[in-house]
């Protein structure tokens, strides 16, 4: 309802009864809110008195006629229209205060819409605010069903808008949080890089108990069985050693991480004068038996211990052989130990084998696999589990890739020469560009490595762990993209990759891709 309307001068002519005698303190408080709107001419509802304010009039009705208008509003649950009709009804039928008191609940005689018409022009009693008169809670119950429904709808709409705004704000906060997380991750990883490039590096610094799980995994025969049965791997070492006997003849050879002793025995058979095999895992005790079984104990000496901690029976060696490669080449960080051995024990002019290693990437288009691993979470037995993608995507997958899903030429992102590499080369950032060979969706990036026994060998030996070659136990490493990227045949798909050790576990890797304006970090563990 509107504010009170001023009736210029009217109040001066009014007979204003002195009600002070009849007022008690509570009443004063009850009507106080209307005093600021005084100075209008208001006719009493039940007699001819004119008063100068609505408050005084209502107070007069209660005190002199025993009718509390706010009580009536509450009792009959009147809304704005109901109240107007009641005032006009009282004025038009001049009903007595007594008859008003006896009207039954829900049987209001002013229901007719004719009572919407004011009986007195500019009646100030029709211009009061019901909420102020009776309090806000009455407004809800005081309304008709239709009005209440409209009220509820408006309120629920407002609540919905507020919820939407809150959701948007929350989503933005989550995004900020995610950016902060990446920033913090970057800061932590970068801050530690200096430590890695220092002399020994974290693998050499690892305490025995910290690395226990790693070496105990090599204590079981099964992992060695798998490696020995990987013909691509083992025959490459064998062929390199047997086909280049001149390289080994009368040399002192160090086999870093000898396992079952297979490489030591190849070297011994190829004519090495002395072979020293070192391994920290329990498998070395089997190797000792194996060496004896093959009557090679005069040539081969086996030592149990970490290469970083043992005392070798020689100061220098001519050749270092080792099979140190992990998934995506650098997983396990065993190359750290080979570099350590080289710097510690390799004689001037000596060689490390294998020597040259490449890490390559290629684009993959495999909608089926993407569906199986990522879109799967959109609807699981009728439930959304999309949040799971955040856990699934960042874990690189070691699996054999179908060569027909390759959709680009490979691109070498890092070349390592074991004769010259430093620890700092094992963590790197490289820009790459993948030449796309098919117009489709790129759903993943695959990583793998190639190994060569090269320097000083008349018969070079090379093998690859790529998806187009015979599969090895290293398989390939697949980095799934959460959102596939549309690519066109002939285009270059540019990107940047960063490979780092995980500071929490230096034997595992973190691989970050900047690709198609997205940054994705994968762990390999």
Q: Is 109 exposed, middle or buried (0-12, 13-18, 19+ CB in 10 A)?
A: middle
In the annotation, is 225 catalytic? no
Which is catalytic among the residues 332, 482, 483, 517? 332
The CB density around residue 193, as the number of other CB atoms within 10 Å, is: 14
Q: Report the candidate in 452, 450, 434 with the shortest Cα–Cα distance to residue 442.
A: 434
Residues 294-313 that bind ligand SAH (CB under 6 A): 306-308
State the nearest-atom distance from the C-beta of 284 to ligand SAH, in Å.
8
Listed ranges 98-106, 240-248, 255-263, 355-363: which one lies at the site for ligand SAH (CB under 6 A): 255-263
Alpha-carbon distance of 429 to 497, in angstroms, equals 6
Half-sphere exposure of 17 (CA within 13 A, CB side): 20
263 interacts with ligand SAH by CB under 6 A: yes
Listed ranges 9-17, 172-180, 254-262, 488-496: which one lies at the site for ligand SAH (CB under 6 A): 254-262
Place of tokens 């009600």: 19
218 interacts with ligand SAH by CB under 6 A: yes
258 interacts with ligand SAH by CB under 6 A: yes
**DSSP-derived secondary structure for 214-240:** HHHHTTSHHHHHHHHH-HHHHHHHHHH
Residues 329-358 that bind ligand SAH (CB under 6 A): 334, 337
276 interacts with ligand SAH by CB under 6 A: no
Q: Which residues contact 2 (CB under 8 A, 6 or more apart)?
A: 127
State the nearest-atom distance from the C-beta of 215 to ligand SAH, in Å.
5
CB 360 within 8 A of CB 447: yes
Of the two residues 290 and 362, which places its CB atom closer to ligand SAH in the complex?
290
200 interacts with ligand SAH by CB under 6 A: no
In the annotation, is 168 catalytic? no
State the nearest-atom distance from the C-beta of 506 to ligand SAH, in Å.
12
State the nearest-atom distance from the C-beta of 294 to ligand SAH, in Å.
15
CA separation, residue 183 to residues 100, 390, 482 (Å) = 75, 18, 20
State the nearest-atom distance from the C-beta of 266 to ligand SAH, in Å.
9
Among 19, 200, 227, 430, binds ligand SAH (CB under 6 A): 227
CB 217 within 8 A of CB 239: no
319 interacts with ligand SAH by CB under 6 A: no
State the nearest-atom distance from the C-beta of 479 to ligand SAH, in Å.
25
Listed ranges 55-63, 252-260, 454-462, 513-521: which one lies at the site for ligand SAH (CB under 6 A): 252-260
280 interacts with ligand SAH by CB under 6 A: yes
Listed ranges 92-100, 183-191, 251-259, 388-396: which one lies at the site for ligand SAH (CB under 6 A): 251-259
State the nearest-atom distance from the C-beta of 211 to ligand SAH, in Å.
8
CB 455 within 8 A of CB 390: no
Using H for helix, E for strand and C for coil, what is the string for 451-466? EEECCCCCCCEEEECC
CB 515 within 8 A of CB 495: yes
CB 429 within 8 A of CB 455: no
288 interacts with ligand SAH by CB under 6 A: no
Alpha-carbon distance of 227 to 325, in angstroms, equals 11
Listed ranges 280-288, 432-440, 489-497, 511-519: which one lies at the site for ligand SAH (CB under 6 A): 280-288
Q: Which residues of 328-351 are buried (b: 16+ CB within 10 A; e: fewer)?
A: bbbbbbbbbbbbbbbeebbeeebb
- Which residues are known to be catalytic? 323, 332
| Positions that interact with ligand SAH (CB under 6 A) | 215, 218, 224, 227, 257-260, 262-263, 278-281, 283, 306-308, 323, 334, 337
């Amino acid at each position: 309802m509107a504010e009170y309307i001023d009736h210029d001068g009217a109040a001066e002519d009014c007979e204003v009864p002195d009600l002070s005698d009849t007022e008690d303190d509570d009443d004063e408080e009850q009507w106080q809110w209307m005093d600021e709107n005084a100075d209008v001419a208001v006719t009493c509802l039940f007699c001819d008195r004119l008063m100068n304010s609505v408050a005084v009039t209502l107070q007069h009705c209660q005190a002199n006629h025993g009718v509390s208008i706010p009580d009536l509003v509450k009792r009959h649950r009147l809304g704005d229209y109901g109240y107007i009709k009641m005032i006009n009804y009282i004025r038009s039928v001049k009903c007595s205060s007594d008859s008003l008191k006896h009207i039954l609940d829900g049987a209001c005689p002013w229901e007719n819409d004719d009572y919407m018409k004011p009986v007195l022009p500019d009646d100030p009693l029709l211009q009061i605010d019901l909420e102020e008169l009776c309090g806000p809670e009455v407004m809800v119950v005081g309304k008709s069903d239709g009005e209440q429904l409209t009220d509820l709808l408006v309120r629920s709409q407002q609540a919905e808008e507020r919820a939407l705004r809150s959701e948007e704000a929350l989503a933005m906060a989550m995004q900020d949080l995610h950016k902060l997380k990446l920033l913090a991750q970057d800061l932590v990883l970068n801050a530690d890089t200096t430590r890695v490039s220092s002399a020994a590096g974290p693998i050499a610094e690892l305490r025995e108990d910290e690395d226990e799980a790693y070496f105990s995994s090599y204590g079981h025969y099964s992992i060695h069985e798998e490696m020995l049965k990987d013909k691509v791997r083992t025959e490459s070492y064998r062929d390199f050693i047997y086909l280049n006997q001149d390289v080994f003849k009368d040399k002192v050879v160090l086999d870093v991480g000898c396992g079952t002793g297979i490489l030591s025995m190849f070297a011994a058979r190829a004519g090495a004068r002395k072979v020293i095999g070192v391994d920290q895992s329990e498998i070395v005790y089997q190797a000792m038996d194996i060496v004896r079984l093959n009557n090679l104990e005069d040539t081969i000496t086996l030592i149990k211990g970490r290469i970083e901690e043992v005392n070798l029976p020689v100061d220098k060696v001519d050749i270092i052989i080792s099979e140190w490669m992990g998934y995506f080449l650098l997983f396990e960080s065993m190359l750290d130990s080979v570099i350590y051995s080289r710097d510690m024990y390799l004689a001037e002019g000596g060689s490390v084998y294998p020597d040259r290693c490449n890490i390559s990437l290629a684009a993959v288009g495999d909608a089926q696999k993407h569906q199986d691993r990522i879109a799967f979470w959109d609807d699981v037995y009728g439930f959304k589990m999309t949040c799971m993608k955040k856990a699934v995507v960042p874990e690189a997958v070691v699996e054999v890739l179908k060569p027909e899903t390759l959709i680009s030429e490979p691109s070498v992102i890092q070349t390592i020469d074991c004769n010259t590499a430093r620890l700092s080369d094992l963590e790197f950032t490289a820009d790459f560009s993948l030449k796309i060979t098919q117009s489709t969706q790129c759903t993943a990036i695959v990583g793998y490595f190639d190994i060569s026994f090269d320097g000083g060998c008349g018969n070079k030996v090379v093998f690859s762990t790529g998806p187009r070659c015979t599969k090895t136990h290293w398989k390939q490493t697949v980095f799934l993209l959460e959102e596939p990227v549309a690519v066109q045949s002939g285009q270059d798909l540019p990107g940047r990759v960063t490979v780092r050790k995980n500071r929490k576990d230096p034997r595992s890797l973190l691989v970050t891709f900047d690709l198609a304006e997205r940054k994705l970090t994968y762990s390999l563990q």
